[in-house]
Amino acid sequence: MEWQKVTGQRVGDHYFKGSHPTGLTIYLYPKESGNTSYAIFGAKYGSIDNCFRRSDEPGPESVPEGIAHYLEHKLFESEDGDAFSRFAQTGASANAYTSFESTCYLFSCTDRLYESLEILLDFVQAPYFTKETVAKEQGIIGQEIKMYDDDPQWRVMFNYLRAMYHAHPIRLDIAGTVESIAQITPEYLYRCYNTFYNLHNMALVVVGRFDLEKVTALCDKMLKPCAPVRVDRVFPEEPETVVQPQVEERLAVALPLFQFGFKCGSAPRTEKDLAAMEILLDVLASEASPLFRKLLDDGLVNESSFSYEFFEGAGYATVLFGGESRNPQAVAQAINQEVARLGQEGIPEEAFQRAKRALYGENVAALNSASSIANGVLSLSLKGRELFTYIDALAAVTAADVAQSLQALREDRSVLSVIGPLEK
């Protein structure tokens, strides 16, 4: 296979990108300065992919919620034991996670990289499901679901998403429900595995110290050919409106928790769009912003818990703020007022330049971390984006771009989710 050298002119780093004959996209990012190597093998398959259409079949198919997360649990098992035990023998630290849009398997190590990489490529391509092991896992995942049902941070977020989205599966729990996982069979698992764990739908990233030829040879040895099947996600139509502007629930918390934010449409976004929104949020709510100082001075938030992010993906996008507050409604009102003020008065040039420099610096500093690089490259790749292009977009964003992003923050498309303390 041939490697393309991709260079970030602004940051002085580079990586190698290759398309393996099996269809897998591979990124090799040399990082000689650190002692740790990091590898992540991911599929573009997450909890929102409950309805899909294969390019080799005529129509869409729906499956029970929670299969992506279920597969993540089951893939570590085999007839001969589990992958964690194999990683322990090489000294690597392994893990996995399922998100709304991807499932990823990873490890970090200080030596024996090639042995650990062989384990990773082996077990992810070797599914083993039986009725007995599937039934056993249903109890384990059922307990996990019930645990999250009692987690205030989890509940405040999913209450927020359910109040915002009418139909998009982003409103559904990543692990599914006790009822939905009861429907999962080995046949469903193999069906979804063979659909989404197709190497044409996956990517591999290796960061650290490695020999390019050795990694290439290992991939040639371990990767299994598969048909070039394309998978299209099928989502129900989602209105631009929210379901309800406010939702509240009570659990065992000392102070009310809140998530407040805006529904921002579903159009695909470029790296430039993402960069503009990130800068806007820094202008709006960072520790240097007038809004944050006001919230802090009025005793409405505490410095340690207040957060903000732009959360977006296939068919969904929301700007959200969260934390603890004795008066979440007042926080929401203050955010709406600040958005309106910036819309009327414009974004100060000084605040724009400060936010732009801060975010650019954070992204460049993240290139010193093997795990940050690997997760960032993989996440961007599965969404059709590129790391250095995003950094260049941050440098090129204008105040006008940021002002344009502000228009997506509409009060009539906002939601406030609150978890209050139990009544005495």
User: Which amino acids are annotated catalytic?
Assistant: 72
| Ordered DSSP codes for 95-121 | EEEE-SS-EEEEEEESS-HHHHHHHHH
The region, left, alpha or beta by phi > 0 then psi within -120 to 50, assigned to residue 315 is left
Question: Residue 206: which of 88, 89, 41, 68 has the closest Cα?
Answer: 41
Q: Starting from the edge strand earliest in sequence, which strands make up the sheet with 246-251, in order?
A: 246-251, 414-421, 257-263, 316-324, 307-313
Contacting residues for 93 by C-beta, under 8 A, at least 6 apart: 87, 107, 108, 109
Instruction: Output the six-digit token pair for 333.
Output: 């009102």
Instruction: Output the six-digit token pair for 260.
Output: 């407040």
**CA distances, 41 to each of 26, 67, 232 (Å):** 9, 18, 21
Q: CB of 313 within 8 A of CB of 170?
A: yes
**CA distances, 281 to each of 178, 230, 287 (Å):** 37, 36, 11
| Residue whose structure tokens are 């979804």 | 192
Q: Tally Cβ neighbours within 10 Å of residue 371.
A: 14
Question: Residue 210: which of 12, 28, 6 has the closest Cα?
Answer: 28
Say how far apart CA 405 and CA 399 lie, in whole Å: 10
Say how far apart CA 83 and CA 107 lie, in whole Å: 11
CA atoms within 13 A on the CB side of 311: 22
**CA distances, 121 to each of 69, 203, 241, 350 (Å):** 19, 11, 44, 49
**CA distances, 388 to each of 28, 129, 276, 282, 326 (Å):** 14, 40, 16, 21, 42
